[in-house]
C-alpha cells in the first residue's frame, strides 16, 4: 500500500561549516584556473583544522595560478568571515600540495580524433526535479538553505553581529498525497559570540526561520529547536576538521533523490561527477517544466575515457505522461551527453563555481554570466512539442 502521509527532513550547512570552507576553497582555486585557461584541468581537495589549511590534488594549467594558491585560500576564508583565534584568514598556516595531472589520466580524457574527450572517470550521476516548489526542487532542502543563506547575509552585512560563520539547519515537512502541506519541526544550530546568551541566540535566529516559511504556514514554538545543546562559541575548523566533498546530500536534493556518490567542488567540468550531475538536473528539470511529469529522476552512467554515457535511465515515479524509454531517447537526441557536449550546452568552462559551494548547487536562479546555467528550462518547449504536450513552466 502506498503511504499517503509522511514526514520528510532535509538539512543544510552554512558557508562557515568546516566542510563547506573546504568546498569554497577548492572551487575558488578552480575558478582561478578557469579564468586564465578555460580548458584547465583541476581536481583540488582541501583539508582544514585549527588554524591550518592544506590543499592537494592534480592540475594542468598556468603556473602563475599555482603560485597564487595561498592568496586564494586566504581570500576565500576572509570572505566567509573567519577572524577567530583558532581560525583566522591572516594567521592560519596554508600548505599547497597541488601537482601536475597524471599523464595516464590525461591520455584518457584528452580530445580524440573525433573532437570528443572521454569521461574523466567512471561513475553514475543522478538528476532530479519535482513540481512541489517554483524552483522544481524538494521543499525541505530549499527551506533549509534559505534559513542559513539569509542568516549569513545578515551576519556579513553587519545587521546581525551576534552570529558567527558556522551553522546548520534542519527542516521537517508534513506531506499529504505527495505534496508538502505544513512544517513539523525546525532545528538550527549556530555559532555565536562569546558574550551572547542562549536567549539572545534564539532572538537572533527566530526571524530567519519564520521568514523561510511559505505564506500562510506556521509552526508551534515548541517545535523550533535553536542551539538545543546550548553554547556554541568554538566552531568552524577550530571545532571540527573539514574536508572537500563531505556534504554531497546538502549540495543536491537533501536526500529526496538518489546520489551517485561523487562530490562536485574542486573538479573541472571534464569530471563527469560534476558536469553529468549538472546536466542530469538540467534534463530532469526540463522534463517537469515541459509538463511531461510531476517528478523526474535521471541517471547517467559513464566509463573512463569513453565520451558517450554507457546508459541513460529515466524514472518519472508513476507521474509521467509519456513513455520513459521514448523520453530517454528524446533527451539523448536533444542534448549531446559527452563531456564536451555538456560543457558547451551549459557553458561550464567559465569561472562560475565558487558561488555553488554553499546553499546548494540546484534550485538557484541562473546568473547573467552563465552561473547555474543548468537551472535553465530552455529546452522545455521543444520537449513539449516533441511529445505534443504543453510546457507550462518553460523559460
Extract the annotated binding site. Answer: 17, 19, 45, 58, 101, 166-168, 231-232, 240, 246-247, 263, 267, 271
264 counts as catalytic? no
Nearest Cα residue to 124 out of 349, 304, 316, 294? 304
247 counts as catalytic? yes
Place of cell 526542487: 137
87 counts as catalytic? no
104 counts as catalytic? no
Q: Which candidate in 232, 264, 362, 372 is catalytic? A: 232
Q: Which candidate in 74, 145, 155, 267 is catalytic? A: 267
20 counts as catalytic? yes
Q: Which candidate in 56, 106, 154, 241 is catalytic? A: 241
Q: Which candidate in 36, 37, 52, 58 is catalytic? A: 58
19 counts as catalytic? yes
**Dihedral sign computed on CA atoms, order 277, 278, 283, 289:** positive
Q: Which candidate in 88, 162, 174, 246 is catalytic? A: 246
Q: Which candidate in 27, 117, 132, 273 is catalytic? A: 273
Q: Which candidate in 11, 15, 31, 45 is catalytic? A: 45
Cβ distance 117 to 174 under 8 Å?
no
271 counts as catalytic? yes
Residues belonging to the binding site for Mg(2+) are 19
241 counts as catalytic? yes
110 counts as catalytic? no
315 counts as catalytic? no
Residues belonging to the binding site for K(+) are 45
381 counts as catalytic? no
Q: Which candidate in 8, 11, 15, 19 is catalytic? A: 19
Residues belonging to the binding site for L-methionine are 58, 101, 240, 271
Q: Which candidate in 15, 17, 145, 264 is catalytic? A: 17
179 counts as catalytic? no
Q: Which candidate in 240, 308, 324, 381 is catalytic? A: 240
The torsion region of residue 273 among left (phi > 0), alpha (psi -120 to 50) and beta comes to alpha
- Which amino acids are annotated catalytic? 17, 19-20, 45, 58, 168, 232, 240-241, 246-247, 267, 271, 273
Amino acid at each position: 500500500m502506498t503511504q499517503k502521509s509522511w514526514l520528510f527532513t532535509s538539512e543544510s550547512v552554512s558557508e562557515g561549516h568546516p566542510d563547506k570552507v573546504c568546498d569554497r576553497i577548492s572551487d575558488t582555486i578552480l575558478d582561478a584556473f578557469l579564468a586564465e585557461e578555460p580548458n584547465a584541468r583541476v581536481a583540488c581537495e582541501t583539508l582544514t583544522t585549527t588554524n591550518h589549511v592544506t590543499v592537494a590534488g592534480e592540475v594542468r594549467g598556468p603556473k602563475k595560478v599555482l603560485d597564487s594558491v595561498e592568496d586564494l585560500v586566504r581570500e576565500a576564508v576572509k570572505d566567509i568571515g573567519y577572524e577567530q583565534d583558532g581560525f583566522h584568514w591572516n594567521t592560519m598556516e596554508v600548505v599547497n600540495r597541488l601537482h601536475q595531472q597524471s599523464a595516464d589520466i590525461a591520455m584518457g580524457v584528452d580530445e580524440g580524433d573525433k573532437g570528443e574527450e572521454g569521461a574523466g572517470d567512471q561513475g553514475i550521476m543522478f538528476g532530479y526535479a519535482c513540481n512541489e516548489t517554483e524552483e522544481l526542487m524538494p521543499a525541505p532542502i530549499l527551506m533549509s538553505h534559505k534559513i542559513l543563506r539569509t542568516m549569513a547575509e545578515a551576519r556579513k552585512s553587519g545587521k546581525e553581529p551576534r552570529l558567527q560563520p558556522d551553522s546548520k539547519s534542519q527542516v521537517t515537512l508534513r506531506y499529504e498525497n505527495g505534496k508538502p502541506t505544513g512544517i513539523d519541526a525546525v532545528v538550527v544550530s549556530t555559532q555565536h559570540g562569546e558574550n551572547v546568551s542562549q536567549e539572545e541566540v534564539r532572538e537572533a535566529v527566530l526571524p530567519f526561520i519564520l521568514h523561510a516559511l511559505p505564506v500562510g504556514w506556521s509552526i508551534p514554538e515548541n517545535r523550533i529547536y535553536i542551539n538545543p545543546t546550548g553554547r556554541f562559541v568554538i566552531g568552524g575548523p577550530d571545532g571540527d576538521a573539514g574536508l572537500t566533498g563531505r556534504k554531497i546530500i546538502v549540495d543536491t536534493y537533501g536526500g529526496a533523490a538518489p546520489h551517485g556518490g561523487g562530490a562536485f567542488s574542486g573538479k573541472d567540468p571534464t569530471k563527469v561527477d560534476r558536469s553529468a550531475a549538472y546536466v542530469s538536473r538540467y534534463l530532469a528539470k526540463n522534463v517537469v517544466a515541459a509538463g511531461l511529469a510531476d517528478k523526474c529522476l535521471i541517471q547517467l552512467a559513464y566509463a573512463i575515457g569513453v565520451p558517450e554515457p554507457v546508459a541513460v535511465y529515466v524514472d518519472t515515479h508513476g507521474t509521467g505522461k509519456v513513455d520513459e524509454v521514448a523520453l530517454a531517447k528524446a533527451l539523448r537526441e536533444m542534448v549531446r551527453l559527452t563531456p564536451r557536449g555538456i560543457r558547451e550546452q551549459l557553458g561550464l568552462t567559465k569561472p562560475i563555481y565558487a558561488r555553488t559551494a554553499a546553499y546548494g548547487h540546484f534550485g538557484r536562479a541562473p546568473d547573467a554570466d552563465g552561473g547555474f546555467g543548468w537551472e535553465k528550462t530552455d529546452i522545455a518547449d521543444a520537449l513539449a512539442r516533441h511529445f505534443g504536450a504543453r510546457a507550462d513552466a518553460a523559460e
